[in-house]
Structure 1
Amino acid sequence: MSWIRQLSAFVRFPWAQKMMYAEAYALLAWGRVLKALPFAKVAPSLGSYMKETPEVELGRQELLTIRQVSKAVHGMSRYTWWESQCLVKAIAAMKMLERRGLSSTLYLGSGRDEQGRLAAHAWLRCGSYIVTGREGHEKYTVVGIFGNGAAADREAGLMTRQSG
């Protein structure tokens, strides 16, 4: 599809969808900025370390919102002039879901690629739905988890009070 057709299709989107796509583009940029920073500085903004949000069944409206966020992030990632791979997409989607009051968990994994080289991957889960990074995530060993939302925050607060 030519860029003129793509722009024409975008112009015909409802206002709310245009705003969601613009938000996705901006948060993909923010995710790319965060990726360029030392991870120790970025980690606190990703949520509670090693705390997962519940893997619950989602309501119809929640699932619709999650799918819209996923589609916006994946769609806009093809049009960024910067690299928008798995971690950048996961951060953008996490922040979009957070703005909509939905908890999520960002997973960082490591493994080996087809040539045996070390490879990394990031994916985001909301409820029982993999929002970003679904492709091949099961081939990676989880090395980091960041839970974002009320459930993860409550658990992290409880752990802090118990250890303090």
Structure 2
Amino acid sequence: MELDEEDKELITEDELRRAVMGNKNFAPGDDVLTYQVLRLLQKVPGNPLLQLYNVCDQHGYVPAAWTITTIIPIPKPGTDKYWSIPLNSCFSKAFERVLLTRLRYRLQEKFSPHFYGFLPQRSTHHSLSELYSRLSYNNVVAFLDINFFYIANRDIILDQLVKFGVRGNLLKLINGYPSNRNHVFS
């Protein structure tokens, strides 16, 4: 099998550094390895973390241990409801950040100027500011907070990514991402 030109592009030390440094010391997943460990691995001669990520990227594969999410229920004060706090492997989170950066780069020309999700300098705050600047006295606004990730049709999303030119191992990793997740409740 011949690789796409995009599949031949190895993850660079700079990409990895930005993915790891951009994260604070959030709680790790079941492997209990923190971002501090990832930062230390980058200093080891030969950068084994970079080598590991490039092997995963080149083969379109994510290790099963990285797909485990431990869900910690935290009681909401004064109710019988809970917040669900997901804990994922920092290895996985940093790798996903590299992939997200590459995906954004490939799609940046395809995004509508009115798209605000998951883009730098295009947050909910920016969306609300634009909305507020366009409102008049007679407008009515309704806000919905819907988690589309779990209800979105993956096939439609993948077809759209293909139409936008995403292919190869990046597409393979995106395709396998939600189907290979394991949730463990603590």
Structure with more of its chain in strand, by fraction? 1
- By the TM > 0.5 criterion, same fold? no
Which TM-score band (shorter chain)?
A: under 0.3
Structure with more of its chain in helix, by fraction? 1
TM-score of the two chains, using structure 2 as the length reference: 0.24
